[in-house]
Amino acid sequence: MRKLLLGAVALTAFTWALPASAQDSAVKSGPFWQANRIYVEDGQFENYMDWLTKTWASNQEFAKSQGWVLEYHILNSVNPRDGEPNIILLTRFNDFPSAKEADRRGALINQHMQQTDHTADSASGDRTKMRKLMGSALYVEMLKR
């Protein structure tokens, strides 16, 4: 038992004695990826694509011009299984805004989209006939150091 304890202490001391660079991870956190999962209702694909390519993309381009978004993509699942989304909306960004900054951005987006919080909420409700929101996932990109 004593040999095991001495071995553990020696290993710990050896690990601490390594140069700091040898202890660093090979990766570092990079931008975030938000993946919104959407199920487009039967017979609504083209209508929803029209909305995405006109309204949603315009909103994303505005956010990109402000430096809030790095890139965005619309992905179509080729073979979705039952209960899975058939559209994934990807947005890549560097970091999260504070609550105050999020409010400021929301006001600027509303101005750009010529809408209010109430009309935006109502329009989102109207889109339920075209699509079902199935949740989202947030990922962080791991970059090589």
Find out whether 78 and 88 touch, Cβ atoms under 8 Å: no
CATH at 34: 3.30.70.100
What is the band of 6 on the pLDDT scale with cuts at 50, 70, 90?
A: very low
Give 61-102 pLDDT, tens digit per residue.
999 999 999 999 999 999 999 999 999 999 999 999 999 999
Q: 5 lies in a domain?
A: no
pLDDT at 19 (0 to 100) = 55
Q: 6 lies in a domain?
A: no
Q: 29 lies in a domain?
A: yes
Number of domains in the chain: 1
Q: 49 lies in a domain?
A: yes
5, burial (CB in 10 Å: exposed 0-12, middle 13-18, buried 19+): exposed
Q: 3 lies in a domain?
A: no
Find out whether 121 and 8 touch, Cβ atoms under 8 Å: no
Beta strands in the chain (DSSP E): 27-40, 71-76, 87-93, 131-144
Range of 127's domain? 25-144
